[in-house]
A and B are shown apart, each in its own frame.
Chain A
């Protein structure tokens, strides 16, 4: 019988010993399987490597030069000069601060709204389909277009928000914080569905028995939420927070459409883009890009090591 080895029940000693015995007698088959596995994975891995690894090392290399595309002959090796330039510039730190504010507020608000949405979807007695469709709509919409939608709603020329709220000629995009408010609003609208779907999946895993047992023991709804539901879906919550934090940290599209970084609303991604593509200051831009990359790495490490976010579920190993 030449059964293909499907994963035996994990952890069972018999299964493991059996696998070892089989491995000894089927080493040829094992080798063939290994080859096939690597062969099937090769195209995807190669594409991912070519587009990420090479440009990343290229960025690291070029960030050590003072280099503008418009003046290729003036390319000079300046060690970490670009990094010093970036890190000692007030503008860089202002952008870091802006990015941080946007990230903190959006992720915080989205967790609350997303959880509420997930609860409504989880307990919906009717119109489940309609609700799901409505929630998925912002998820599917192109980010640039959601940016335009909110821009035109608040805009002095075309907006209705001022008329509805009786604000007269208040210029939302005239100041830093009011601009950021609208940017944050659009970001929340666009990405809360993603959070709520992750949390919905987490909610589905909390068994009803626990909830009922707590009810029998006389717990209030509030206590059940905080003592039973939330602790039991901690993994899903942490995954949602990690993903959204990294996503918000890279915010770019709606900032570009709504303010183009005017009025001190520039974010780190936007600064990177402006230096590399708009100003063609490749060296300095790549240095900012590398710093952005490092900050993402730092956030991921803090979450995964510090808060012990369990990514095995995301990665799908069992």
Chain B
């Protein structure tokens, strides 16, 4: 089947994919190590003199450090709550007979297709009325609701594959209900829950629309929103290199998660979408 020529073609294809994926990220990294003054002269791809200056700048900027704390805190809390809710729903859908299963799944699907911006005006009003504007919960609540659909499908797909009979088998062998659940079901369900958590975290980490619309200060503004409004240290210097340094910092967790759990992420993204 595989002749020498087609092998070469596959290799070329693979190399192209690598370059295509990594190149833009590499460019941001290179810029983040350039001196701010080196930007205007179009000096090519690599920095002339490598410098940590930009990283020092962003970590001494209150706006960025508070945004980083906001992003981490809000994303983690929203992920935790969202995945807990989604796990309950997915368990019910996979194991119990009750009316409204299909409705819940269709409703989740509808929300996944929802244009978020359409809600920004009313939410902006509502949050200002009830005091959630520019607070952590004010972002956590919308994050949960818009990340839920993806988590629910992913988990439903995973939970349908679990051999639930094993729980009864363990009970027959003399385990209590709680033991059977903890020792048999939890280890089987954990990978799916973990995958849903990664996807949910990515969603929250990535959000921009809510971040710029429902916050106004360092109190709750997450990093992507803060970067878009970042104007730099002084009026005479372009903030380009500083923004790139901040961008690299925000990208590090993403790269780490992808490197460690790429198989999980692929399984999660494809399980809910197409019957595997």
Contacts and interface: CB of A to CB of B under 8 A. Distances in A.
Interface string B11-28: 001100110111011011
A65 to B, nearest CB: 12
A300 B114 CA distance: 10
B254 A55 contact: no
A318 B156 CA distance: 12
Contact of A44 (B85, B100, B250, B266): B85
A120 B273 contact: no
Nearest to A253: B208
Interface stretch (A9-17, A73-81, A86-94, A198-206): A198-206
A142 B205 contact: yes
Contact of B106 (A138, A189, A315): A315
Interface stretch (A45-53, A103-111, A172-180): A45-53
Given A133-B262, A148-B244, A314-B153, A47 B144 contact: yes
Contact of B88 (A44, A136, A141, A204): A44
A34 B153 CA distance: 20
Interface string B150-177: 0011001100100011001000000000
Contacts of A117: 17
Nearest to A43: B85
Interface string B196-230: 00000010011011001100000000011001100
Of B2, B224, B255, chain A has the most CB atoms within 10 Å of the CB of: B224
B112 to A, nearest CB: 8
A158 interface: yes
Interface in B233-254: 238, 240, 243-244, 247, 250-251, 254
A37 B92 CA distance: 5
Given A239-B274, A313-B273, A51 B142 contact: yes
B153 to A, nearest CB: 6
A202 B145 CA distance: 28
B31 interface: yes
Contacts of A200: 266, 270
Given A136-B266, A316-B153, A55 B88 contact: no
Of B21, B126, B144, B243, chain A has the most CB atoms within 10 Å of the CB of: B21
B117 A40 contact: no
Nearest to A242: B113
Of A194, A289, A296, chain B has the most CB atoms within 10 Å of the CB of: A289
Given A137-B258, A157-B238, A148 B121 contact: no
B121 A59 contact: yes
Per DSSP, chain A at the interface is: helix
A71 B215 CA distance: 22
A314 B258 contact: no
Given A313-B274, A314-B272, A149 B119 contact: no
Interface in B2-55: 2, 7, 10, 13-14, 17-18, 20-22, 24-25, 27-28, 31, 39-40, 42, 44-45
Interface residues of A, number: 109
A315 B105 contact: yes
Interface residues of B, number: 106
A225 interface: no
Nearest to B248: A145
A200 to B, nearest CB: 7
A43 B39 CA distance: 51
B80 interface: no
Interface string B98-115: 111110111111010111
A317 interface: yes
Interface in A273-318: 273, 275-277, 282, 285-286, 289-290, 292-293, 296, 300, 311, 313-318
Contacts of A157: 39-40, 238, 240
Interface string A108-132: 0000000011001001110101111
A193 B18 CA distance: 12
Of A127, A139, A316, chain B has the most CB atoms within 10 Å of the CB of: A316
Given A47-B148, A48-B107, A317-B105, A149 B28 contact: yes
A153 B91 contact: no
Contacts of B86: 44
A316 B272 contact: yes
Contacts of A3: 168
B146 interface: yes
The 10 A-B pairs of least Cβ separation, nearest first, read A37-B98, A276-B121, A201-B270, A289-B118, A55-B122, A51-B145, A58-B122, A144-B224, A37-B96, A40-B92
Given A142-B251, A289-B121, 19 more contacts: A4-B95, A6-B164, A36-B92, A58-B122, A69-B125, A133-B258, A134-B17, A158-B31, A160-B27, A198-B269, A198-B274, A205-B274, A272-B121, A276-B120, A276-B124, A292-B117, A314-B272, A315-B106, A316-B153
